[in-house]
Structure 1
Amino acid sequence: MSRHVPAMQTGPEARAWLAGYADRLLAGVRPYTSPSGSLITLPGAPGGYGTAVDGLEGFARTFLLAGFRLAGEDGADPTGLAERYAAGLAAGTDSAHPERWTRPEEHGQAKVEAASLALILDLTRPWIWDRLSPDVQERTVEYLASVVGDPDYPDNNWVWFRIVVETFLRSVGGPFSADDVVHDLAAHDRFRRPGGWFADGPERSFDHYAGWALHLYPALWPRMSGAAEVAAAAGDDLAARSASDREHLARYLDDALALVGSDGSPLIQGRSLTYRFAAAAPFWAGAFAGVGRPGQLREAATRIVRHFAEHEVPGPDGLLTLGWHHPWRPIAQRYSGPGSPYWASKGLLGLALPASHEVWTAAPEPLPADVGDVLTVATAPGWAISTTRDDGIARVINHGTDHAVPGADGGDSPLYARFGYSTATSPLLDAEAWASPLDQSVALLTATGQATHRTGFEPVQVSAVGAAAVLGSVADVHWVEADLSVPDHGSGRPGAATAAGRITTVSIVRGAWEVRLARVSESSADAVALRIGGWAAGPGLVSTLVPLLGDVAPVCGETTSDDATPLAGPTTTPWSRYAPVPDGWTAVGICLARTPATRRPRLELTTGQAVVTWPDGEQTTATLP
């Protein structure tokens, strides 16, 4: 199958198309707006936080999109967005109104939505806030002010929600806490990692939140009224911080661009995937911050949105659903409700910039996947990124991310702890995949086939010479009896762990191929076999796994799963099973492509070294740990 590359649009063409797409989304939710306008409760089963929170999310997250449209058109408002959302504000902030909003002190999710309210009230100040009656302004301040001094903010991207709210409050004469801002900026700084990356909290939580939250808000915050005063009150130099944030964003965008498939698909990895084209947000953040090449940033962002549009998102009713290309409820975390997908509005942030901005006037530029193969290592998340031009697929081989800390012994999250992710495949996400890893795994098996988990692994340094990326890790693998009563927030399930052994894994990556070496030590008597799983590939893709090395001849097979991913069609996962558990190194070649591989790599093992000869004759020598 040949790759699909959308034709590049000029800036005016792209802006007009995105504006029409945004207007369709805003029109789609109107029938589900409550009489007062304060709640937008979309169809479908309620989210884990209840219908009241769902209705607030529907309002706040579409308010983001309405605000972008108003700001980018300098207040021109042919469909009456400002009036409708102002009416909703009036009712939602009225504690006596039957359609009033859940308050931040009543439910944590309201703290998230409060940030969207504050951000857009600042961005659209002349057309909404300045026209609100004094009593509605007073009620809005009182509603938002409940976050001030609240100690119950998670130690992750949520710190920016409070910074944004308190900055808006300061700008309208409301209360704010310099101590809160000091605390939250310090947390943000703790999340910084090399190469422009952020972890979403103290764990190895690397995902789209690095871009659509932890880079986005710092790019927008300096533009808010009152930001300089809030920063100064917190003892922070806003100009210096903004310069540092822009430099960090510029480095991140290099990796982020390589992680977009030529068809516009984002990497299918991490929680909150139902936000879909929110993955375009960091590219618009680059435009706001003045970093990156405007024509390329626009192309990346618009191509991501067009990817979903070409897969009929939204559906005929104009609604975003819990899903990816089509409705698929299992993609949701506990916090996800029918209004949650509208955080995708962040992917249309560029509409807040006027047509005269350079992001709209610059000539279009191709993405890295359009120009040639890309091979790089993102040190912070421990990813080898390999994007191949001939099929347009971006692949990640993962030796640094598990949404946990070193030494943890919980279950693997399929969203984080698998060895591989791509823009063309999804990890298996059915109940079996959470309990017993198969795809993109290296696992010890019990006699009944229960597979181990690797969460808590330690990355290891692997040196190499040649045209390849090489990463490694060592895991004290364990079987887990998961506690299914714990709410699902995307990370691995906790539970009682039983030690199974120690596995060292090395990945040597080039193009569509990974040579994966594994060595088991200290294995439990209950471990009867070693199994290595490849890509879970759907229709139009070929997932190949071939043994390259090992004293024990493996049994090779494949497992077909139905409805185990948010992508259409069944998935097929190849695997090799070695029994008994082999001594020394075992290795396989793993390939994901759109057409069958006609040639495969060769591997020779010498004392302490692995020598890979790639299909084109190039060689890579890696020193094994």
Structure 2
Amino acid sequence: MKRRNLLRKLSFASVAGLFIQPAQLFAGTKDVEIEKLPSGIDDRKYWVDLLDKIASPLLSNMSKGTLRKNMDMQVSPIWDNRDKGVGYLEGLGRLSTGLAPWFALENANREEDVIRKRLNKQLLASIAHGVDPESPDYLSWSSGSQPLVDAAFLAQSLIKAPKALWEPLDDTTKKRLVHEFKQLRRIKPYESNWLLFAAMIESFLLSVGEDFVEERIDYALEKIKEWYKGDGWYGDGPVFSFDYYNSYVIQPMLIDVLRVNVQHKRRSKEEYDLAYKRMQRYAEFLERMVSPEGTYPIFGRSATYRTAIFQPLVQLALEDGLPEWIKPSQVRCAITSVKKRIFIPETFVKGEWLSLGIVGNQQEGLADTYSNTGSMYLTSLSFLPLGLPEKHSFWSEPFEPWTMLKAWKGEPFKKDYHVNV
């Protein structure tokens, strides 16, 4: 019965999310009633409400020191028996990265701003609890090697929105956070995307005038360059793995680390420009991966991170760096269609916490050995364009079909070729 109900809701979501009847998906544009398509303002409100739904249970609790008490911390059926406490740092660090550009935005509309300021205030209080040894929600900074990962996501959020997330912190919290970041130097990262976690933390310390370890930045940058495979794809280590870690970590963290180090004249602008071109090429693949029905291919490890796979695409939209042939509005429409397929009521455990799956709550078997409830909040990375004002074309332009919607409706679309970057 649960499966039938889920399938029924998925069928409805595919129609409601696109506002196009299934038969029309394969018809010409003239058959679609444009006035029935959602506007950019409709989409933005949906994104804001959805991000509020995802973020509020975690931040409202942690800002009061009750996250460990109240979070429904689930772990993978094949959990590797590490300390479950690392999941709380995972939730905070990963969620903060997706929220950061929105918090950095000024002059949002009044209704949206109420939500944004509430969450921003809660995140600042949550960080304070997370580094306070006397708080019930003091985070597991010293438990194994996992804290390196999620401290890096937290550092990335501080780099993205220093005025909203770093500068307002009181001096004691700043000192405690810097201390926790520095003690993570005890962890030697694996020869993989993990190198960028160490580089991100040291780059944040560089950005705020703290002492930093050059080797943890430069070794990571040289290795990532060495592992480039071509046509916009990096290896996650010397051997190529066909998964979405180019999205989750490699491409965006590489850009953010390089940006800080170029600003401080430690790395060259040419190196940054090349990495950016490679991310633009990779983003072309991501845009083409969204099907006419608002689905995408699921493969590789960490698939339960859901819409985090689109991080490079939406980061380029945020930075006005999309390839010329990809309109910001088509990215908005594609990602909105995916969100409406994924975030149905059953995707939230007890109506609040993200489940260990992709769609609904019957896919726990997809969770990897290291996956827990906190891990799931990496999906926030698809919300980066909320950092753009309403008047930006990402939000202000009308519905724009994405590549696969055009292709399977029989409309002209851009051919794809290998790009040598």
Whether 1:19 aligns to 2:48 is yes
Question: Are residues 36 and 324 of structure 1, via their aligned partners in 2, closer, same or farther at CA, if it must alter by over 3 Å?
Answer: same
Q: Match for 2:241: what amino acid?
A: S
Match of 1:344 among 379, 398, 406: 379
Aligned residue in 1 for 2:157: 120
Counterpart secondary structure, 1:193: strand
In structure 2, runs of 5+ residues without a counterpart are 1-10, 20-36
Q: Is the 8 A contact 2:317 2:394 kept in 1?
A: yes
Q: Deviations over 1:82-109 (max 9, x none)?
A: 3322222223223454532222x54211
Query: By how many angstroms is 1:138 displaced?
Result: 1.0
Counterpart CA distance in 1 for 2:418 and 2:369 is: 30
TM-score (norm: length of structure 1)? 0.54
Match of 2:173 among 120, 133, 136: 136
Question: Are residues 37 and 318 of structure 1, via their aligned partners in 2, closer, same or farther at CA, if it must alter by over 3 Å?
Answer: closer
Counterpart CA distance in 1 for 2:256 and 2:224 is: 15
Q: Deviations over 1:144-192 (max 9, x none)?
A: 12244x5611122222222221121112221212222110101211232
Whether 1:52 aligns to 2:67 is no
Counterpart CA distance in 1 for 2:129 and 2:192 is: 31
Counterpart CA distance in 2 for 1:340 and 1:50 is: 14
Query: By how many angstroms is 1:72 displaced?
Result: 3.4
Aligned residue in 1 for 2:355: 321
1:387-402 matched pairs, under 5 angstroms: none
Q: Deviations over 1:589-610 (max 9, x none)?
A: xxxxxxxxxxxxxxxxxxxxxx
Q: Is the 8 A contact 2:195 2:216 kept in 1?
A: no
Aligned residue in 2 for 1:63: 96
Match of 1:266 among 292, 296, 304: 296
Q: Is the 8 A contact 2:247 2:309 kept in 1?
A: yes
In structure 1, runs of 5+ residues without a counterpart are 381-625
| Larger-Rg structure | 1
Q: Match for 1:159: what amino acid?
A: L
Q: Deviations over 1:327-364 (max 9, x none)?
A: 22211111101111111111112212332334223444
TM-score (norm: length of structure 2)? 0.78
Match of 1:111 among 148, 169, 193: 148
Aligned residue in 2 for 1:6: 18
Over the matched positions of the two proteins, sequence identity in percent amounts to: 24
User: More relative contact order in 1 or in 2 (CA 8 Å, sep 6+)?
Assistant: 2
Query: By how many angstroms is 1:77 displaced?
Result: 5.0
Counterpart CA distance in 2 for 1:25 and 1:123 is: 20
Aligned residue in 2 for 1:159: 195
- Structure with more helix by fraction: 2
Counterpart secondary structure, 1:121: helix
CA RMSD of aligned residues (A): 3.1
Aligned residue in 2 for 1:93: 131
Q: Match for 1:64: what amino acid?
A: T
Match of 2:338 among 301, 304, 307: 304
- Structure with more strand by fraction: 1
Q: Is the 8 A contact 1:208 1:270 kept in 2?
A: yes
Aligned residue in 2 for 1:423: none
Counterpart CA distance in 1 for 2:164 and 2:187 is: 33
Q: Match for 1:118: what amino acid?
A: A
- How many residue pairs get matched? 372
Query: By how many angstroms is 1:114 displaced?
Result: 0.6
Aligned residue in 2 for 1:354: 389
Match of 2:276 among 215, 225, 246: 246
Counterpart secondary structure, 2:167: helix
